[in-house]
Amino acid sequence: MLSLSAACAAASALGDSRVRMNPDDPAPPEPRQIEDARLMRRIAEGDREAFGALYDRFSRPLYATALRILNDASEAEDLLQDVFLALWEKAGDFEPGRGTAFSWAVTFTRNRAIDRIRMRRRRAELLDQSAPADIGYADDSGPDSADQAASSEQSSLVRSAMASLPPEQRAALELAFFSGLTQQEIAARLSEPLGTVKARIRRGLIRLRDLVAFRP
């Protein structure tokens, strides 16, 4: 017969088992998650070796995430470098109690990839709004030979007008519309304040339209 003490012990063990099997209880962190969090703490202290280890652990899946969203291998590679730079700079902001280091890095990657897609759309909108057909950027489908000749002539006018712009305006416009850089990227490339770059692009577009409009 089971003794009273043994029965109590069995009941206690059963109770503990039920508590541990409750699906509402958070699962204990896995060894990999614990190591990731430890690396983040070391990175926050400026440990470059830990940063290299984290890069080895995260780079492939983060690149895959960026590529899936951007659908451009080169842009995904650039984004990956941006993400790891942010992880280096913001490692001290990581809070293990709010999620894993990997999920935090994935969130960084997704948000920045989505931001890049939005920048693409803003560039397209800027092109539509600030560089309409009167300066040769219209996208006409199925032009006839007369339209093609006019378009070629218009393009020549635009190239000539671009050459006559002040060098700083021309450089900003070329980076914006021919290299596909955002205004922030242009500011970084030219080592100029963002406001200065915006003003140059705006003045350059206005001058382009004026030059083309008054050509005979």
3-state secondary structure at position 178: coil
Total domain count, the chain? 2
Domain boundary among 106, 124, 142: 124
User: How sure is the predictor about 206, in pLDDT bands with cuts at 50, 70 and 90?
Assistant: confident
Residue 44 is assigned to a structural domain of this protein = yes
Domain boundary among 87, 107, 124: 124
Residue 130 is assigned to a structural domain of this protein = no
Number of Cβ within 10 Å of residue 139's Cβ equals 7
Residue 6 is assigned to a structural domain of this protein = no
Residue 141 is assigned to a structural domain of this protein = no
* Contact predicate 96/38, CB 8 Å: no
pLDDT mean over 169-183 = 77
User: How sure is the predictor about 17, in pLDDT bands with cuts at 50, 70 and 90?
Assistant: very low
pLDDT in tens, 59-104: 999 999 999 998 888 888 888 888 998 899 899 999 988 899 999 9
Closest CA to 146 of 154, 134, 138: 154
User: How sure is the predictor about 106, in pLDDT bands with cuts at 50, 70 and 90?
Assistant: very high
Which H or E element spans position 19?
helix 4-21
**Which of 126-135, 161-170, 205-214 holds the top average pLDDT?**
161-170
Residue 54 is assigned to a structural domain of this protein = yes
Q: What is the phi/psi pair of residue 106, to 5°?
A: -65, -40
CATH number for the domain spanning 57: value is 1.10.1740.10
Domain of residue 55: give its range. 31-124
Of 31 and 2, more confident: 31
Residue 140 is assigned to a structural domain of this protein = no
The predicted structure's pLDDT at residue 154: 52
In the predicted structure, residue 14 carries a pLDDT above the cut 70: no
Residues 90 and 164 in one domain: no
pTM for the predicted model, two decimal places: 0.49
Of 4 and 186, more confident: 186
The predicted structure's pLDDT at residue 66: 92
Residues 71 and 115 in one domain: yes
Residues 53 and 114 in one domain: yes
Residues 120 and 51 in one domain: yes
Of 156 and 176, more confident: 176
For the chain, what is the mean pLDDT?
A: 74
- Read off the amino acid at residue 79: L
Residues 158 and 107 in one domain: no
CATH number for the domain spanning 169: value is 1.10.10.10
Residues 112 and 173 in one domain: no
Residues 94 and 167 in one domain: no
Residues 56 and 117 in one domain: yes
User: How sure is the predictor about 179, in pLDDT bands with cuts at 50, 70 and 90?
Assistant: low
pLDDT mean over 14-31 = 53
Residue 46 is assigned to a structural domain of this protein = yes
pLDDT mean over 101-125 = 83
The predicted structure's pLDDT at residue 160: 74
For 106, residues 6+ apart whose C-beta sits below 8 A from its C-beta are 61, 62, 65
Residue 176 is assigned to a structural domain of this protein = yes
In the predicted structure, residue 153 carries a pLDDT above the cut 90: no
Of 93 and 216, more confident: 93
